Amino acid sequence: MDNHSTILVTGGTGFVGAHLLYHLTLSGKHVKALKRSSSSTGLTRKTFSWYAPFSIEQWERIYWIEGDIMDIPSLQEAFDGVDYVYHVAAIVSFQKQNKSTIESVNQVGTANVVNIALEKHIRKLLYVSSIGTLGRVKSTEIVSETTYWSNKKTSVYSKSKYEAEQEVWRGMAEGLTAVIVNPSIIIGPGNWNQGSPQLFETMWKGLKFFTSGSNGFVGVNDVAKLMIQLMDRDLQGERYILSSENVLYEQLFNWMADALQVARPKYKADPFLSAVAWRFLALAGLFTGRKSSITKETAETANQQYRYSNAKILAATGVKFMPVKDCIEQTAGIFLDEHR
């Protein structure tokens, strides 16, 4: 892909999409970015300023288009003349009460993107899925791209992303050139009140508990750079786990506390205590009107041992991932600069 190709990014106002736009425009590429009329580009603009002095020249390489992946006419207009599409837009939520919206946007929205990509004969689509669409195995085993998915004890979000993936695979069967990435838990700066960046806000306010589980983690800049590499390379019809390291939550929280210069969590939350906590917070939400970031699914996951293989992406690209500890320190530095 050269700088004269036309690129479209969906979800450019979100966490991953903002970082993707930063790295695309940093390399001189001009990009069309789809945004809803109600969405703000504030987080994207802030993302650009976190890594270097803000450059108007770089920012103006983005051509913002108002549209919605649920609005087919606006999508058809956005796809006009496009060669490559990064489909990043999604609703990230683990709240069961949002089930219909999550499923609609993530699955139906992706089906719309796939259908129009086929209609417009785009050259390649890259879809950002989730590590949650891969199967869960025993704690002694490692999950790879071939691990069979099971819908037992899976979140509403993971199920919606799995069904969205099926739309991409269906598109490939109909002639679409595409590749799928499955990032593990992404570490990086973003909206400190949403998603994984919220962990830094929680730790800053004084997190007292840690859990016994482990998971895969990866830096957001590595995710963005690998997306660009996979789009540029002659790779198709494949999925790739994007994960730097498998880390115990206790270790992760200790690194975060140290980087933020706050006390480390002292108390271990076993499965029973975690179960009590999510029920209490859900009940409290009925009175406060605020939805807790801890749900039944996230509480259960936090005490499970999940490990993921990154062998396939290493073989395909030779990437050297930023260590998770370094990602945390970099993100904490940005967090502290903002909060001070």
Residues 151 and 159: beta-carbon distance below 8 Å: yes
225 vs 272, higher pLDDT: 225
* Domain housing 81: 7-190+215-247+307-322
pLDDT at position 280 is 38
Candidates 266, 251, 229, 271; CA nearest to 324 is 251
Q: Please check whether residue 116 lies inside any domain of the structure.
A: yes
pLDDT at position 279 is 43
What pLDDT digit, counting tens, does each position of 304-337 carry?
888 999 999 999 999 999 999 999 999 999 999 9
pLDDT at position 95 is 64
Question: Per-residue confidence at 220, pLDDT binned at 50, 70, 90?
Answer: very high
Mean pLDDT of all residues belonging to the chain: 88
Candidates 199, 168, 144; CA nearest to 331 is 199
Least confident of 81-95, 226-240, 246-260, 283-297: 283-297
CA–CA distance, 242 with 101 (Å, rounded to integer) = 27
Residues 260 and 335: beta-carbon distance below 8 Å: yes
What CATH number did the domain enclosing 238 receive?
3.40.50.720
Q: Please check whether residue 229 lies inside any domain of the structure.
A: yes
Q: Please check whether residue 298 lies inside any domain of the structure.
A: no
What pLDDT digit, counting tens, does each position of 50-78 carry?
998 989 999 999 999 999 999 999 999 99
Q: Please check whether residue 301 lies inside any domain of the structure.
A: no
Residues 203 and 260: beta-carbon distance below 8 Å: yes
135 vs 125, higher pLDDT: 125
Strands (E), the chain: 7-10, 31-35, 62-66, 84-87, 124-128, 178-183, 185-187, 209-210, 214-219, 238-242, 245-248, 267-268
What percent of the chain is modeled with pLDDT above 90? 69
Q: Please check whether residue 29 lies inside any domain of the structure.
A: yes
Q: Please check whether residue 199 lies inside any domain of the structure.
A: no
Q: Please check whether residue 157 lies inside any domain of the structure.
A: yes
* Number of domains comprising the chain: 1
Least confident of 16-30, 176-190, 196-210, 283-297: 283-297
Query: Does the pLDDT at position 24 exceed 80?
Result: yes
Considering only CA atoms, give the Rg of the chain: 20
Q: Please check whether residue 41 lies inside any domain of the structure.
A: yes
pTM for this predicted structure: 0.91
Least confident of 232-246, 255-269, 287-301: 287-301
Give the pairing of strands 124-128 and 84-87. Answer: parallel
The backbone region for 279, taken as left when phi is positive above 0, alpha when psi lies in -120 to 50, beta otherwise, is alpha
